Structure 1
Amino acid sequence: MTRRILLTGSNGLLGQKLVALLHAHPDVELVATSRGPNKLAALYPQVPFTTLDVTDRAQVEQVLGAARPTHLIHTAAMTNVDECELNQAACWAQNVTAVENLVAVCAELNIHLIHVSTDFVFSGEAGPLAEDAVPAPVNFYGQSKLAAEQVVQAGAAKWAIVRTVLVYGTAHEYGRTNIVLWVRDSLRAGKSIQVVDDQFRTPTLAEDLAQGCWLVAAHEASGIYHISSSELLTPYQMARQVAEYFNLDQGLIQRVDASTFTQPARRPARTGFIITKAQQQLGYRPHSFRQGIALLAQQAEGGAKNV
């Protein structure tokens, strides 16, 4: 069965990994969309690309109506947690209004909507969490993503929600760093870094998240799926693993708690996911964090392209 998949946010980290995964798949016709110019044009010239601002209902109707996908994987979002706290109107437009637009048009055109969400819909009091845990966000980003989930669930379109945790990876012309490269680069430069040891996450390799989204589409799955690794780690523990892998000075890593930092948005203390449902129903198999470090090292230092 051929699936015609439209991606939103194809310039982002997850979007780029999905293009890399799906562009040559024999059972997929891929259409990439993003708000800005196509960053992947030189890498994947064969992938059709359309500019799309998902906050614009008319554009959503026009682009989806022309593309007629069977599935839409919605990765576009405002994800900087502090920016969301400080610019709540922009956050709501990008994370909720956009989803209202997509849900309405997907229902009209019978498109299976796969919506990417976050562990930040939870309070952080009781991780790791299964799909039926009760959301209670502690910041505006989490509130916006929970509102978007509720829009998806209340809509008439066929839907699946893929929640994820602390995504890391490398991407082409991607300005934001990640914990692996930040720790590696800081320690190589001889810089001392402060890393929290009182927040718990199950960090997610971007390639694993892309695979999870594809498995949901391939299985025509519906409902909520938790997609992450299965290792519950603190950022401090992650940093120690990075230092060990690259044979760098772990003495430069200062163990602190979250109260050390002043940030506009609260962070949930303990999230992380139980991924049994995705493993059993979808055949999802994530990398370990050490394997993820090795893949990033290969990509960043060996010149590998989206391995």
Structure 2
Amino acid sequence: MKTVLVTGSNGLLGQKITEKILKEGGVNLIATAKGENRFPVKEGYLYAEMDILNPEEVREIIEQYKPDAIIHTAAMTNVDTCEDEKELAYQLNVEAVATLVTLCEAHNIQLVHLSTDFIFDGENGPYDELAAPNPLSYYGETKLRAEELIKNSKAKWAILRTIIVYGIVSDMSRSNIVLWAKGALEKGNPLNIVNDQWRMPTLAEDLADCCFLAIEHDAQGVYNASGKDLMSISELVARVADFWNLDKSLINEVSAATLNQKAKRPARTGFILDKSMTELNYHPHSFEEGLEILDQQLKKSIGQ
């Protein structure tokens, strides 16, 4: 049985990975994050507090538990915050990866690393795994730098690139565009939503599956791991409104230029998923199927 260590286990993806292991078994899980464990179930796996920015602490934990694989989900992902706090973004998104790479090389550990569509400029998406990156934001730059560090290492590695991850955690402590749009529309708040950016939103459960498929297949190389439906952000919000029968007239379509966001976003990303589907047997849900899963979880969490 493989031992798998997960960084950022309190995050949305981290919690979905814990959930998956508890449901399916077959893996010894070491969940790690900064601070106390936020996952509601505490049995069936080990939790270790670990500050990814403390190389000595990271080394001690990895040498103590000797994982066969590390799924690295911890990162600074708020694109505008990365622009404001460049030093911290670099520490979290690049230096922490360098620490893990060194340890994976030394102990022959497979590294499964999460990356992003924001390494691309959005000029000619959807992209395959060989497309040339050209990040527009500091967030994209740090994630590309991390990819380069991993690719130039002697470690066993797989990079999974993803796009807009959505889902819920039990304490509702993590938001994302789907929950945000649903909540705002339910309150009757008018929304300004961009209609000139295209993405393929990814259900967190699908991404957790792909992380495991990468470990099961001893995957080596870059894989696209997103949802399969390409849509504009305004269409995404409209589909959320349709699914929950909310008022679409509250959605005001605007161009990205009108929002004055600190970081520049790529216009059209999206991924070609053929490689992940063929080599890893990755089969993501459609967007509406993902919303259905989310809806069931929401009903369960409020005890309906």
User: Taking structure 2 as the reference length, what is the TM-score of the superposition?
Assistant: 0.97
* Displacement after TM superposition at 1:181 (Å): 1.8
Q: Deviations over 1:195-252 (max 9, x none)?
A: 1110000110000000011100011110000001121101111111111111111111
Once the 2 structures are TM-superposed, how far is the Cα of residue 81 of structure 1 from its aligned partner? 0.6
1:175 — aligned with what? 173
Which of 77, 91, 113 lines up with 1:79 in the alignment? 77
**Match of 1:150?**
148
* Residue aligning to 1:131: 129
Task: Say whether residues 1:35 and 2:6 are aligned partners.
Answer: no
Of residues 284, 289, 292, the one that matches 2:290 is 292
- For 1:93 and 1:179, locate their aligned partners in 2 and report how far apart those are by CA, in whole Å: 26
The answer to which of 183-192 and 71-80 deviates more is 183-192
* Partner SS for 2:24: coil
Per-residue displacement from partner, 1:12-57 (whole Å, max 9, x unpaired)?
01000000011343421111000121111x4232320111112221
Given that residues 39 and 172 in structure 1 are in contact (C-alpha distance below 8 angstroms), is that contact kept between their aligned partners in structure 2? no
Q: Deviations over 1:86-129 (max 9, x none)?
A: 00000000010000000001111110000100001111111100
Q: Retained in 2: the 8 A contact 1:7–1:73?
A: yes
Aligned partners of 2:170 and 2:301 also within 8 Å: no
Partner of 1:242: 240
Residue segments in structure 2 that go unaligned for 5+ positions in a row:
none
Q: For the residues of structure 2 that align with 1:172 and 1:95, how far apart are their CA atoms? A: 26
Q: Which sections of structure 1, spanning at least 5 residues, go unmatched?
A: none
Matched, 1:51 2:49: yes
Deviation, 1:304, is 8.0
* Structure 2: distance between partners of 1:56 and 1:303: 35
In 2, Cα distance between the equivalents of 1:295 and 1:12? 19
In 2, the alpha carbon distance for the partners of 1:116 and 1:225 equals 10
1:220 to 218, 221, 227: 218
Cα RMSD (Å) of the superposition? 1.3
* Residue 268 (structure 2) aligned to one of 267, 270, 274: 270
Say whether 1:7 aligns with 2:27: no
Q: 2: distance between equivalents of 1:304 and 1:159?
A: 40
Q: What is the percent sequence identity of the aligned residues?
A: 43
User: Which has the higher mean CA deviation after the structures are superposed, 295-304 or 53-62?
Assistant: 295-304
CA–CA distance in 2 between the matches of 1:86 and 1:26? 41
Residue 298 of structure 1 contacts residue 304 of structure 1 at CA under 8 Å; is this kept in 2? no
* Alpha carbons 2:13, 2:204 under 8 Å: kept: yes
Instruction: Provide Cα deviations, 1:134-165, integer angstroms capped at 9, x if missing partner.
Output: 01100000000000001111111100100000
Number of aligned residues: 303
Counterparts of 2:44 and 2:174, CA distance in 1: 26
Give the SS at the match of 1:159.
strand
Q: Is the 8 A contact 2:207 2:225 kept in 1?
A: yes
Equivalent-residue separation in structure 2 for 1:293 and 1:277 (angstroms): 25
Structure 1 residues 269-292: Cα deviation after superposition (integer angstroms, max 9, x where no partner): 111111110001111110111111
**Map of 2:116 onto structure 1:** 118
Task: Give 1:164-203 correspondences, 5 Å limit.
Answer: 164-203=162-201
What is the DSSP-based 3-state SS (H/G/I as helix, E as strand, rest coil) of the residue aligned with 2:231? coil
**Paired residue type of 2:87:** A
Alpha-carbon offset, residue 173 of structure 1? 3.2
In 1: Cα distance, 2:292 partner to 2:187 partner: 20
Whether contact under 8 Å (1:158, 1:222) holds in the other structure is: yes
Bigger drift between 275-284 and 55-64 goes to 55-64
Tell me, yes or no, if the aligned pair for 2:11 and 2:174 is still in contact at 8 Å: no
**Map of 1:204 onto structure 2:** 202
The alignment partner of 1:286 has SS state of coil
Q: What is the SS of the residue equivalent to 2:218? A: coil
Please, which moves more after superposition, 72-81 or 249-258? Answer: 249-258
Is the deviation greater in 65-74 or in 238-247? 238-247
Deviation by residue 1:170-190 (Cα, 9 ceiling, x = unmatched): 113353422222222222211
Contact 1:278 1:284 in 2 (8 A): yes
8 Å CA contact retained: 1:9, 1:75: yes
TM-score under structure 1 normalisation?
A: 0.96
CA positional deviation for 1:303: 2.1
Q: Which amino acid aligns with 1:60?
A: V
